[in-house]
Structure 1
Amino acid sequence: MPLHLRRPVLSTAPWRWLGLLLLAAWLAGCASLPPPGERPVSTALADPQDTRLGQLVLARQAADGAHHPSGFRLLVNAQLAYAGRLALIEAAQQTLDLQYYAIHADSSTERLLEAMRDAARRGVRIRILLDDFNTVGPDAQVLRLAHEPGVQIRLFNPLPGSRHSLVGRVLGSLGEISRLQQRMHNKLFIADNAIGITGGRNLGDTYFGESADSNFVDVDVLAAGAIVRDLSASFDSYWNNQLAYPVQALVSRAELDALQATEPATPAAPPPPASATATVLPDTAPAADPLAARLELQKITLTWAPAIMLADKPDKIAAADEEADREDTLVDGLLNLMAQARRDLLIISPYFVPGSRMMALFADLRARGVRIRVLTNSLASNDAPAAHVGYARYRTALLRMGVELYEMRSELPNPHRAFGSSGSGAGSSSRAMLHAKLLIQDTRLLVVGSMNLDLRSQLQNTEIALLIRSPAMARDTAALIEPHLLDSAYRVELRPDGGLLWHAPLGSGAPDTTHEPDTSLGLRLMLRLIAPFAPDELL
């Protein structure tokens, strides 16, 4: 039987307006979590070389004459990112490990979950680790897969309270407000400990260009070889952590059935075009294999390069505030990396709230002549307008020190051409929202991950990223992004009187403006009203 997921109302960053919900704290009672139940320790596949994917990676490395044991391919297209995940599911022989902040119940996800159920039935062990915050309402239905043989789902940092609505969940958790704000934001998709995908995308229509209303511009990286063992080790550290609860300890199948009874079903999405899948993965299986026409890893171009994984420890969430600020988080590592820049920094961050330490770092870099360019969301393209408050309070100071600021327009000139393309389902009327998280240093180092450059990612959420030392990849990625700074983003500058001027993207036909472009007066006034009461750490 199909899982019958339902497309949710878009809600990708609800914690960003959490501060407003706290005003209703006096209405809430306090709930508590049940015992975690049985939680056996398990680890990643020890020897991926015995699998078809492992053998294919070794063959590809030998054919390329690679001098490094890890290979990479940027996934900058929504269909390709989806096809890659589906192909990994179908190619896996022994294990699939997924770690996500959010898995939304909609058509694209249903197709992936159906493929995972089929994989489990052919003997693949599946572990899914999901942050608990979004597992409410229609999205709770993804937990039904935990009741399939061969599939285990654990919820990280679970919250008490109702799963009927997000508001009920928040109000039922106000007794532990610190934990409520600290979320597992990592994204991993790993097959047979041989090939993995990480980056900005969660799972859902809006991440794969299938939403009729709003779609994210996002980027992932496919990794193969030795670096995947590090990704799997990070996954295992979270999976076996005391904050990871088996689904069965928190919600029963009967409770999921009761929730589902109130939600209309959505038909499963068709599989992606074979042409998209064929460029992602390989096949050296016998010709009789029904997957042979779709899995062609030997045709993919990989860049073999030295790389390291940057990842927060899962205990970052359990730590007290004074323990969390120890300068050993992923974002702290990125700040130390940026301090070594000699010529150029190109930063892509959808939620950009620098904070005092980053501002001091930027001032030092600018004094040394380092060029700094930042692409972030405009107020119109931001799916969490309150986050714009934190960015806006630093904007003038950034411009005064010579940082170049670009704000992505919500109407892209060509969604299919955009880096991180918003996909086939997104027409010109679909709102585009930046969600990619990238850093390019001196056209030499490329960082792709789940992190935003804000204080929430630095101090509260856990994050993961890959740092790839490849001038070729860094150069190609910069060449991909730079045209969109001109034709898809507003360039923000200081006026002689100290005010701001937004230069419209080239060829857009939009006028230059002296206020937040493409927004209503009401929205601008509302943000001005809440700005004095919104600390950076909550945005």
Structure 2
Amino acid sequence: MLISPATYTSPVASAPSLRNKLRRFWPMLMVLCLGACASLPENVSRPISTALVDNSHTRIGKAVAERAAKAGTHNDSGFALVGSAELAFSSRMTLIEAAEKTLDLQYYAINADATTARMLEALQEAAQRGVRVRILLDDFNTAGTNAQVLKLAFVPNIEMRLFNPLPSGRASGLVRIISSLSNVARLQRRMHNKIFVADNAVAITGGRNIGENYFGQSKGTNFVDIDVLAAGRIARDLSQSFDQYWNNPLAYPVQSLMTAADLKAIEPKAQPNNNDINGEASSRNVENPVTLIKTVQDTPNPLISTEKSDVIPPTLSDKTNLSLLTWTWAPSVLMVDKPSKIAADADSVEASQDTTVDGLLQLMSQAKTDILIVSPYFVPGERMMQTFASIKARGVRVRVLTNSLASNDAPAAHVGYARYRKALLALGIELYEMRAEQPVSIKSFGSSRNGFTGSSSIGGSSRTSLHAKVVVIDDRLLVVGSMNLDLRSQLQNSEVALLIRNRAIANQATSLIEPAMMSGAYRVENVDQELVWRAPQGSGQQDSTTEPDASAGLKLLLKLLGPLAPEEML
């Protein structure tokens, strides 16, 4: 039975009092338990710089103009979906190697591992041949081994800034977070945008960060993701957004926060490749971040080794000719949050600001027939549930693919989703949860260049975690971006997405997603007020009445945190 907006009842209304009290006193309790953290530097020099104005004489700019002329279209932007991990890596490498003037990278996370090292080598080589490289990185993950990525800031012709930095040490990620809990607002609000632009002519955006598990190379868990290559006017729009963040007071040059000597002091020592804490083989040789991103002897500038790494499989070393991709020229709109969304006073200053997620909900509210949602972290919240109720009341079909408890790399996010699962099903929304253990033959977006296999044929792993953020509306509107459909993306993180109006590319995205739903995900149903997980077709698995494939520890975590944890912090 469908539930109208008027009759929708919150699935968590039975225990609001305790949770509201915890939400109110949670930050206060953390502050009482921890001392004050260090402060950020003042009067920081941030030289203003902007994207390349004229790219008509660059190879990439000329190629885009030629493709547009050949297409004979009045649309000023072209698109190509990136549904495989191999293409995601090789397309970025191709753009780095082809760039002649500028490279702009904006990411939530860049991990220091062997796969990333090859890309960082290419960035240094681009800088050496005169390409201006700007890297804007959220500061949350720049600790421990990952802090060594910051050595790029000291490479000539490479500029690196950290957005919304945490005023604490970087030797340990956990210690860094704990020491920052006295400023919960700063800790919670993160720059989640993912943008990669070459010569202000071709860009890549979507769900992927930079790291081995985003490119199918991890021996542990690999992320299933979707990016989109964008050319022409929309790439320039992405560059304009990059500039707004780059020149914002929240963007601090790395040199204003630490020195090359500071990075050297916390450089991890080489260690044997032992098993990790989970008993599985380590997903990388821990020596690589030291040897491939290192300080050159007798010079104060940390440089990436110019010696080519031999740890990258040949399939990722092959160059991909982007001109061979099928480009779709279509009307498009950039959806992006303002940098002020994550300022310290964002709640009061920007209370009326529409966010990327708000815009997406407005689009979905206008759907006539069908909505297909892919969101790894799916925590609707009350306002979003009202929107879904209104959509379903009009008879629109809504399907959601998200992570299962077992496949979710952030189990706490699953806690928030689980609260709404029965209410979502009662509205008539179809729920699919990704299997963590994928069969090699699954045909979906993932690692195989031609077959889009869900498991990693490169890294040899069969463990999968959904990370794509995609919405298809009425088989004609496609949204690909960095946003999740959760309260964190809606209220706290900054996000970016591309809205493309074209049936062909919308259907292409659907053709990547639907097989994963049918063959690689559990269909969740409500049978006599009890949840049942229907096993994927041909999987050989049995239906389940409890969270499938999840350990007893994860199930216990779900029960303990379920009634208590504030949704906006999940």
Cα 1:409–1:173 change in 2 (3 A) is same
Report whether the alignment pairs 1:368 with 2:394: yes
Unaligned runs of 5+ in 2: 1-25, 272-286, 293-308, 448-454
Q: How much has 1:527 moved relative to structure 2?
A: 1.6
User: 1:420, 1:436 within 8 Å by CA — same for their partners in 2?
Assistant: no
Q: How much has 1:22 moved relative to structure 2?
A: 7.0
d(CA) in 2 for partners of 1:106, 1:156: 22
Partner of 1:474: 506
Aligned partner letter, 1:405: L
Aligned partner letter, 2:154: H
Matching residue within 420, 440, 450 for 2:472: 440
Aligned partner letter, 2:342: I
Describe how 1:313-352 pairs up with structure 2 within 5 A: 313-318=338-343, 319-352=345-378
Partner of 2:463: 431
Give the TM-score taking structure 1 as reference length.
0.90
Q: How much has 1:24 moved relative to structure 2?
A: 8.2
User: 2:405, 2:554 within 8 Å by CA — same for their partners in 1?
Assistant: no
Matching residue within 65, 68, 72 for 2:79: 72
Report whether the alignment pairs 1:240 with 2:264: no
Greater CA deviation, 473-482 or 138-147?
Answer: 473-482
User: 1:516, 1:524 within 8 Å by CA — same for their partners in 2?
Assistant: yes
Give the TM-score taking structure 2 as reference length.
0.85
User: 1:407, 1:491 within 8 Å by CA — same for their partners in 2?
Assistant: yes
Partner of 1:463: 495
Describe how 1:246-265 pairs up with structure 2 within 5 A: 246-264=253-271, 265=287
d(CA) in 1 for partners of 2:351, 2:487: 11
Cα 1:21–1:379 change in 2 (3 A) is farther
Partner of 1:303: 328
Q: How much has 1:118 moved relative to structure 2?
A: 0.6
Report whether the alignment pairs 1:537 with 2:568: yes
Q: How much has 1:61 moved relative to structure 2?
A: 1.0
d(CA) in 1 for partners of 2:316, 2:248: 40
User: 2:442, 2:520 within 8 Å by CA — same for their partners in 1?
Assistant: no
d(CA) in 1 for partners of 2:341, 2:441: 37
Matching residue within 201, 210, 219 for 1:212: 219
Matching residue within 21, 27, 35 for 2:42: 35
Instruction: Spell out, residue by residue over 1:173-196, the C-alpha distance to the aligned partner (whole angstroms, 9 max, x if none).
Output: 223211110000000110000000
Cα 1:245–1:323 change in 2 (3 A) is same
d(CA) in 1 for partners of 2:265, 2:51: 34
Describe how 1:136-215 pairs up with structure 2 within 5 A: 136-215=143-222
Unaligned runs of 5+ in 1: 1-18, 282-296
Aligned partner letter, 1:374: V
d(CA) in 1 for partners of 2:503, 2:353: 28
Identity %: 59
d(CA) in 2 for partners of 1:417, 1:280: 24
Describe how 1:488-499 pairs up with structure 2 within 5 A: 488-496=520-528, 498-499=529-530
d(CA) in 1 for partners of 2:445, 2:469: 12
Partner of 1:510: 541
Instruction: Spell out, residue by residue over 1:143-182, the C-alpha distance to the aligned partner (whole angstroms, 9 max, x if none).
Output: 1011111000000001111101112211222232111100
User: 1:416, 1:424 within 8 Å by CA — same for their partners in 2?
Assistant: no
Cα 1:341–1:280 change in 2 (3 A) is farther
Instruction: Spell out, residue by residue over 1:232-254, the C-alpha distance to the aligned partner (whole angstroms, 9 max, x if none).
Output: 00000000000000000111100
Q: How much has 1:536 moved relative to structure 2?
A: 1.1
Provide the aligned C-alpha RMSD in A.
Answer: 1.9
d(CA) in 1 for partners of 2:262, 2:399: 49
Aligned partner of residue 33 in structure 1, secondary structure = coil
d(CA) in 2 for partners of 1:89, 1:234: 20
Q: How much has 1:214 moved relative to structure 2?
A: 0.6
Aligned partner of residue 182 in structure 2, secondary structure = helix
